[in-house]
């Protein structure tokens, strides 16, 4: 029996949590225990079954409010067939691996209500469970008019999820807002829809212009209004769904938008969007159902889409509201950043850009001296581009790292621009999972960058031990994913993700570094055309071919790094030359990481292979989508 733990008076559409009697059907004991513990912590009564036969016995003894089923397990389809023949319909959430979409199709053909992809994100699972329990609880008595499970069959949830996943937020939050607007408008058969982001600091609701049958040149200007105004403000204040038959008959309706645009609002469906903690983060407002007022069926569909829109809305904006103006995250465009010096340059040009090679004796001779207030203590590393010192900031009394380019680097205009670009790029990010920038300067013609000191890298760990413990591997990739997501939100593409560019602080937290190749999507780099930039073992096929790249190329490189950390070797380690590696990245199937490391979890190998898909459209579409699966894998290790 579904119960409302908020004890809200009857007749209101409350957002308070509902608790129910749930059954988890999962053959893997560890996963079964993790899911049960997570759902139990939310107040649900949870029983488990390791097989479809055991599940039938549990269901026959007493009904359940909802079932979470592993659709990849033996007997899962026969269990769904059996459930479909029972007198009492039971909603089912089917879980399947991302690369087994046919199982989800088969499950929906057998009447499942919703689905999850493995590894299961516990937050998403909690939201979808709550959404279904709310639909089945029938707080407004709508079940007499329409059956919730029948109403949900009209929407294609996997297709909607694909739309949301592909709506990259790299150009600001507007892209995600427009996608959500389109989804709601089409699913609810309306003329217009608009999703508002709630800014609690300014108590404002913000969105791009409501979508309808607009022309391609529509620029979708920003709309911002007081969060107490209009029907959207009323839904936010009441924290419940409003279904208005005629907006002009409701005194809360604000007609200003109609007066300015010539649009005529009639029926309105308005509902709040909540994050995983139950806090309101936005409002969805759908206008003018094409076939009369919004119905009970419309409310059911809206309720199911609300959790998806809320999750997408939460990921479309920065998580640090004090650090970034929320309005800017909606309307910001990608900065046009030129590229900088590359790790590997392969070109058909007869002459290449000059490579700065420092005098090998010069760095050592500088130890014990000062660069302004920075006392140089030791050399952390050196390469063809320069040297990295460990130093002490004598003014602030802290240890720092100083990256110095070779002699006279500050006097070569191209190199100077590239170096300053890296400094400004990293300074703009200012994210816990990217290396912090403290200062930049020039000494005797050599440019230097003062950075947060990290004493190791993921690459160093591999060199020291050959492999990295699985939980630590996941933590490092999660941290890098967070830093990469922050860069992508600002329109930046790193272009050189690899183990050596993931630094580790004293607590072992990963921090993305070396933005020397960072640039905006599809802009031209300073080094010229027809050049391949990056590190071959981790480069995407499009990057290997010197084609335009976007943020999904970084996700491929992070997948290659994940492969290396998880197995102890990069994907095409058996090739000896750069040309062979580039050719393999473009044309050969990625080796199975599970074959190289048999103890690697099956869901982990699926995540790695999705990152390393040859076509960008077949990969994860955002760093946040990848992050959710990495976090799900981490959650499982904590249960183990």
Residues 277 and 355 in one domain: no
Residues 136 and 192 in one domain: no
Q: Which of 247-251, 305-309, 312-316 has the lowest mean pLDDT?
A: 312-316
Give the pLDDT score at 318.
39
Give the pLDDT score at 333.
32
Give the pLDDT score at 545.
87
Residue 155 has pLDDT above 90, yes or no: no
- How many whole angstroms from its chain centre is CA 171? 14
Give the pLDDT score at 533.
52
Residue 209 — very low, low, confident or very high, per pLDDT cuts 50/70/90? low
Q: What tens digit of pLDDT does each residue of 507-560 get? A: 889 998 876 554 444 333 434 444 445 678 999 999 888 888 888 999 999 999
Domain enclosing residue 294, as ranges: 154-332
For residue 568, give the CATH number of its domain: 1.10.510.10
Residues 410 and 485 in one domain: yes
350 compared with 147, residue with greater pLDDT: 147
Residues 403 and 491 in one domain: yes
On whether the CB atoms of residues 226 and 203 are closer than 8 A, the answer is: yes
Residues 271 and 200 in one domain: yes
Residue 147 — very low, low, confident or very high, per pLDDT cuts 50/70/90? low
Buried b or exposed e, range 301-340, using 16+ CB within 10 angstroms: bbbbbbbbbbbbbbbbbbeeeeebebbebbbbebeebbbb
Q: Which two tokens stand for residue 111?
A: 């009447």
Q: What tens digit of pLDDT does each residue of 31-87 get? A: 888 889 889 988 999 999 999 999 999 999 888 999 999 999 999 999 999 998 988
Q: Which of 176-180, 536-540, 629-633 has the lowest mean pLDDT?
A: 176-180
In a domain, 78, yes or no: yes
Give the pLDDT score at 21.
93
Q: What tens digit of pLDDT does each residue of 210-229 get? A: 554 444 344 445 677 888 88
d(CA 179, CA 550) in angstroms, rounded, equals 19
Residue 361 has pLDDT above 50, yes or no: no
Q: Please identify, among 332, 366, 394, the residue that sits at the C-terminal boundary of a domain.
A: 332
Looking at mean pLDDT, say which of 37-51, 94-108, 132-146, 357-371 comes out highest. Answer: 37-51
Give the pLDDT score at 451.
87
Give the pLDDT score at 328.
43
3: three-class secondary structure by DSSP? strand
Q: Which of 59-73, 318-332, 479-493, 602-616 has the lowest mean pLDDT?
A: 318-332
Residue 382 has pLDDT above 70, yes or no: no
For residue 119, give the CATH number of its domain: 3.40.50.2300
Residues 494 and 395 in one domain: yes
Give the pLDDT score at 345.
33
In a domain, 238, yes or no: yes
Residue 365 — very low, low, confident or very high, per pLDDT cuts 50/70/90? confident
Residues 61 and 95 in one domain: yes
User: Is the peptide bond between 119 and the residue preceding it cis, with omega within 30 degrees of 0?
Assistant: yes
Q: Which two tokens stand for residue 332?
A: 């910001």
Residues 184 and 323 in one domain: yes
295: three-class secondary structure by DSSP? coil
Q: What tens digit of pLDDT does each residue of 409-423 get? A: 555 666 677 777 767
Q: Which of 358-362, 467-471, 539-543 has the lowest mean pLDDT?
A: 358-362
d(CA 270, CA 282) in angstroms, rounded, equals 11
Residues 302 and 398 in one domain: no
Residue 592 — very low, low, confident or very high, per pLDDT cuts 50/70/90? very high
462 compared with 339, residue with greater pLDDT: 462
Enumerate the β-bridge partners of residue 447.
Answer: 442
Residues 126 and 159 in one domain: no
Q: Which of 116-130, 137-151, 275-289, 410-424 has the lowest mean pLDDT?
A: 137-151
For residue 269, give the CATH number of its domain: 3.30.450.40
**Angle, vertex CA 565, rays to CA 562 and CA 570, nearest 5:** 80
What is the average pLDDT across 349-368?
A: 51
d(CA 280, CA 203) in angstroms, rounded, equals 12
In a domain, 442, yes or no: yes
On whether the CB atoms of residues 79 and 69 are closer than 8 A, the answer is: yes
Q: Please identify, among 96, 116, 141, the residue that sits at the C-terminal boundary of a domain.
A: 141
Residues 74 and 159 in one domain: no
- Average pLDDT of the chain is 78
Q: What tens digit of pLDDT does each residue of 193-204 get? A: 888 888 888 888
449 compared with 335, residue with greater pLDDT: 449
**Angle, vertex CA 633, rays to CA 632 and CA 638, nearest 5:** 95
Residue 628 has pLDDT above 60, yes or no: yes
In a domain, 339, yes or no: no
Give the pLDDT score at 304.
84
On whether the CB atoms of residues 389 and 431 are closer than 8 A, the answer is: no
Rounded to two decimals, the pTM is: 0.63
Residue 179 — very low, low, confident or very high, per pLDDT cuts 50/70/90? confident
In a domain, 584, yes or no: yes
State in Å, rounded, how far the first CA of the chain is from the last one.
31
Q: Please identify, among 78, 107, 141, the residue that sits at the C-terminal boundary of a domain.
A: 141
Give the pLDDT score at 383.
59
Give the pLDDT score at 213.
45
In a domain, 338, yes or no: no
Buried b or exposed e, range 417-429, using 16+ CB within 10 angstroms: ebbebbbebbbbb
In a domain, 148, yes or no: no
On whether the CB atoms of residues 568 and 558 are closer than 8 A, the answer is: no
Residues 91 and 204 in one domain: no
Number of domains the chain contains: 3
Q: How many CB atoms lie within 10 A of CB 491?
A: 21
User: Is the peptide bond between 269 and the residue preceding it cis, with omega within 30 degrees of 0?
Assistant: no
In a domain, 519, yes or no: yes
């Amino acid at each position: 029996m579904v119960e409302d733990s908020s004890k809200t008076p009857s007749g209101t559409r409350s957002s308070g949590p509902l608790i129910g009697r749930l059954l988890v059907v999962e053959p893997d004991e560890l996963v079964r225990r993790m899911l049960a513990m997570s759902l139990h912590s939310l107040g649900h009564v949870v029983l488990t079954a390791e097989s479809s036969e055991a599940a039938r016995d549990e269901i026959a003894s007493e009904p359940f409010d909802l079932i979470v089923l592993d659709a990849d397990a033996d007997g899962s389809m026969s269990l769904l067939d059996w459930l479909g023949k029972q007198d009492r319909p039971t909603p089912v959430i089917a879980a399947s691996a991302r690369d087994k979409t046919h199982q989800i199709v088969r499950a929906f053909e057998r009447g499942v209500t919703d689905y999850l992809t493995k590894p299961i994100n516990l937050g998403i699972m909690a939201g979808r469970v709550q959404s279904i329990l709310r639909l089945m609880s029938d707080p407004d008595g709508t079940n007499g008019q329409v059956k919730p499970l029948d109403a949900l069959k009209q929407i294609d949830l996997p297709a909607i999820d694909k739309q949301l996943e592909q709506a990259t937020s790299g150009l600001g939050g507007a892209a995600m807002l427009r996608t959500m607007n389109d989804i709601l408008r089409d699913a609810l058969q309306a003329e217009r829809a608009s999703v508002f982001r709630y800014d609690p600091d300014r108590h404002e609701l913000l969105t791009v212009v409501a979508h309808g049958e607009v022309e391609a040149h529509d620029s979708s200007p920003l709309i911002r209004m007081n969060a107490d105004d209009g029907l959207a403000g009323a839904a936010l204040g009441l924290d419940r769904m409003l279904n208005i038959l005629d907006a002009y008959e409701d005194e809360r309706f604000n007609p200003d938008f109609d007066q300015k645009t010539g649009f005529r609002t009639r029926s309105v469906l308005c509902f709040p969007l909540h994050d995983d903690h139950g806090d309101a983060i936005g409002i969805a407002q759908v206008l003018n159902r094409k076939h009369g007022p919004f119905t009970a069926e419309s409310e059911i569909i809206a309720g199911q889409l609300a959790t998806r829109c809320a999750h997408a809305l939460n990921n479309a904006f920065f998580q640090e509201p004090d650090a970034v103006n929320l309005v800017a995250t909606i309307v910001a465009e990608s900065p046009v950043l030129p590229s900088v010096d590359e790790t590997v340059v392969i070109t058909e040009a007869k002459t290449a850009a000059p490579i700065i090679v420092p005098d090998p004796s010069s760095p050592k001779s500088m130890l014990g001296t000062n660069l302004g207030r920075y006392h140089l203590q030791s050399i952390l590393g050196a390469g063809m581009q320069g040297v990295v010192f460990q130093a002490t900031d004598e003014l602030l009394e802290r240890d720092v790292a100083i990256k110095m380019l070779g002699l006279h680097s500050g006097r070569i205009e191209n190199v100077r621009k590239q170096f300053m670009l890296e400094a400004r790029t990293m300074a703009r990010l200012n994210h816990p999972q990217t290396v912090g920038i403290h200062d930049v300067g020039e000494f005797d013609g050599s440019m230097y960058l003062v950075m947060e000191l990290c004493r190791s890298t993921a690459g160093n760990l591999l060199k020291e031990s050959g492999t990295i413990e699985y939980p630590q591997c996941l933590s490092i990739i999660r941290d890098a994913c967070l830093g990469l997501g922050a860069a992508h939100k600002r329109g930046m593409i790193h272009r050189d993700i690899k183990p050596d560019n993931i630094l580790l602080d004293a607590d072992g937290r990963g921090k993305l570094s070396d933005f020397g190749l960072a640039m905006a999507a599809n802009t031209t780099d300073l080094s010229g055309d027809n050049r391949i930039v990056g590190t071959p073992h981790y480069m995407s096929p499009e990057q290997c071919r010197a084609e335009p790249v976007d943020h999904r190329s970084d996700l491929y490189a992070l997948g290659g790094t994940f492969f290396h950390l998880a197995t102890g070797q990069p994907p095409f380690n058996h090739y000896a030359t750069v040309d062979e590696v580039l050719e393999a990245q473009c044309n050969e199937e990625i080796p199975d990481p599970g074959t190289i490391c048999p103890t690697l979890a099956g869901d982990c190998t699926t995540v790695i292979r999705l990152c390393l898909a040859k076509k960008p459209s077949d990969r994860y579409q955002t760093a946040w989508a990848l992050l959710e699966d990495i976090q799900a894998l981490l959650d499982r290790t904590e249960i183990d």
